[in-house]
């Protein structure tokens, strides 16, 4: 499975920096990859996030870190990196750190809901990070289809290590559309990616520019995503959520309806099982928060994870991991 060069980039220098007075809890806002090999995003220490991105002169490393009274975003890379690329990378780093987001809109949306008001006070703002490239957001969503999260994380790391480019700090860039489009479906199989998933990834590579042009126009992006083979409502919701859509809901998720139901369902949720909730009930509960439903879902997930809301009871044993993977 030969794709991009795996050699580390030349020594990096600081190419650009932007300091904002807006404090961001990066530990909550920006997810990381826990893989030892194939991580695109890492947390070298609390309050710091680093991401590898492809560059014309070699991989770039975007860094976001919390400092007293603000947040700093930096772009590191080879000295030969074109100025226009550096400018775009810095803008991408700012959006990736959540500094272009408007989290205060959630407070107005939940003002009449006592449970969500209480959870929002406990958590603080729900700030959304935006991935620099929609191709990565869609690729991660496609890999996450119909598998457990641990399998999706493993396949994601394997694909990045196989097809991306090595960067300093043990990071790997997510493959570009050109890199990923050159990988045959049978080679992706070694990363645990099905033929359906490979077909969707290849279609996304062809439509990469059109998808990137639609970011920010969420209805248009949803339509263009769902026009691709192998991309449905769940995959579109996951992709738009990763790109910063505050209203994105991953309809069709196995866990989400019960989780939202247990937080928002009140007395009716007590004693219910995971299978007692469906997408229609979840969407009905989320309807009053239209425009901010994605933030509400994230707030509910945080509350369940922290034990501030009841966790849906399991109906049976955890499903075994898929046996189809190649090692």
More confident residue, 94 or 327: 94
Task: Please tell me whether residues 215 and 260 are part of one structural domain.
Answer: no
pLDDT in tens, 46-62: 999 999 999 999 999 99
Tell me: do 212 and 158 sit in the same domain: yes
Mean pLDDT of the chain: 92
Position 324 scores a pLDDT of 54
Q: Residues of the chain with pLDDT > 90: what percent?
A: 85
Q: Is residue 29 predicted with pLDDT exceeding 70?
A: yes
Q: How far is CA 241 from CA 28, 234, 273, 308, in A?
A: 15, 11, 26, 23
Say which residue, 276 or 325, is predicted with more confidence.
276
Q: What is the pLDDT of residue 81?
A: 96
Is the pLDDT score of 325 beyond 70? no
Residue 167 lies in a domain: yes
Which run of H or E residues covers position 260? helix 256-264
Does pLDDT of 8 surpass 60? no
CATH number for position 158 = 1.10.340.30
User: Are residue 48 and residue 77 in the same domain, yes or no?
Assistant: yes
Do 75 and 149 fall into the same domain?
Answer: no
Q: CA 200, CA 66: separation in Å to the nearest integer?
A: 37
Provide mean pLDDT across the span 138-151: 94
2 within domain boundaries: no
Q: Which residue has the tokens 């279609």?
A: 203
- Residue where a domain stops, chosen among 203, 218, 242: 242
Domain boundary among 58, 80, 102: 102
Domain boundary among 242, 270, 297: 242
Where b means 16+ CB within 10 Å and e means fewer, 137-150 reads bbbbbbbbbebeee
In a domain, residue 323? The reply is: no
Domain around 290: 256-305
Residue 315 pLDDT > 90, yes or no?
A: no
7 band by pLDDT with thresholds 50, 70 and 90? very low
70 CB neighbour count, 10 Å cutoff: 14
Instruction: Answer yes or no: do 271 and 237 share one domain.
Output: no
**Residue 93 belongs to a domain:** yes
The more confident residue out of 190 and 268 is 190
* Residue 216 belongs to some domain of the structure: yes
237 and 145 in a common domain: yes
139 pLDDT above the threshold of 70? yes
- Domain assignment present for residue 127? The answer is no
Buried b (16+ CB within 10 A) or exposed e, 262-288: bbbbeeebeebebebbebebbeebbee
Token reading at 296: 């509400």
> How large is the average pLDDT for residues 140-150?
94
144 and 212 inside one domain: yes
The number of domains in the chain is 3
The total of other beta-carbon atoms located within 10 Å of residue 130's CB is 21
What's the pLDDT at 296?
A: 98
| Pair (93, 163) in one structural domain | no
262 and 231 co-located in one domain: no
Please indicate, yes or no, whether residues 146 and 228 belong to a single structural domain of this protein: yes
Instruction: Return the H-helix or E-strand segment holding 71.
Output: strand 70-77
Do 87 and 140 lie in one domain? The reply is no
pLDDT of the residue at 266: 83
Q: pTM for the full model? A: 0.93
pLDDT, one tens digit per residue, over 282-291 is 999 999 999 9
Least confident of 17-21, 146-150, 175-179: 146-150
Task: Evaluate whether residue 320 is within a structural domain.
Answer: no
Query: 326 falls in which pLDDT band (50, 70, 90)?
Result: very low
Whether 194 and 230 map to the same domain: the answer is yes
Q: List Cβ<8 Å contacts ≥24 apart for 224-233.
A: 225/138, 228/200, 228/203, 228/204, 229/199, 229/200, 229/203, 230/142, 230/145, 230/196, 230/197, 230/199, 230/200, 230/203, 231/138, 231/142, 231/200, 231/203, 231/204
When pLDDT is averaged across residues 115-120 and rounded to a whole number, the result is 97
Within a domain: residue 150? yes
């Amino acid at each position: 499975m030969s794709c991009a060069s795996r050699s580390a980039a030349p020594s990096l220098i600081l190419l650009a920096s932007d300091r904002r007075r807006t404090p961001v809890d990066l530990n909550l806002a920006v997810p990381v990859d826990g893989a030892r090999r194939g991580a695109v995003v890492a947390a070298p220490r609390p309050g710091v996030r680093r991401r590898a991105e492809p560059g014309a002169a070699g991989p770039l490393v975007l860094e976001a870190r919390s400092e007293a009274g603000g947040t700093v975003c930096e772009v590191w890379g080879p000295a030969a990196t074109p100025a226009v690329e550096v400018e775009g990378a810095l803008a991408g780093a700012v959006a990736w750190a959540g500094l272009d987001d408007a989290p205060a809109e959630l407070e107005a949306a939940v003002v009449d809901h006592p449970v969500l008001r209480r959870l929002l006070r406990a958590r603080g703002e729900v700030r959304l990070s935006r991935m620099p490239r929609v191709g990565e957001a869609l690729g991660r969503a496609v890999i996450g289809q119909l598998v457990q999260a641990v399998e999706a994380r493993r396949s994601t790391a394997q694909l990045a290590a196989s097809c991306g480019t090595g960067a300093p700090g043990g990071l790997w860039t997510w493959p570009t559309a050109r890199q990923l489009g050159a990988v045959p479906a049978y080679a992706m199989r070694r990363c645990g990616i099905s033929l359906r998933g490979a077909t969707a990834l290849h279609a996304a590579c062809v439509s990469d520019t059109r998808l990137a042009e639609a970011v920010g126009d969420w209805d248009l992006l949803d339509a263009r995503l769902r026009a691709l083979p192998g991309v449905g409502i769940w995959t579109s919701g996951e992709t738009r959520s990763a790109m910063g859509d505050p209203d994105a809901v991953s309809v069709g998720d196995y866990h989400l309806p019960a989780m939202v139901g247990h937080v928002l369902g009140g007395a009716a949720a007590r004693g219910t099982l995971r299978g007692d909730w469906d997408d229609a009930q979840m969407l009905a509960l989320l309807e009053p928060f239209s425009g901010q439903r994605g933030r509400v879902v994230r707030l509910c997930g945080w509350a369940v994870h922290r034990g501030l809301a009841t966790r849906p009871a399991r109906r049976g044993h955890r499903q075994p991991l898929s046996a189809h993977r190649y090692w």
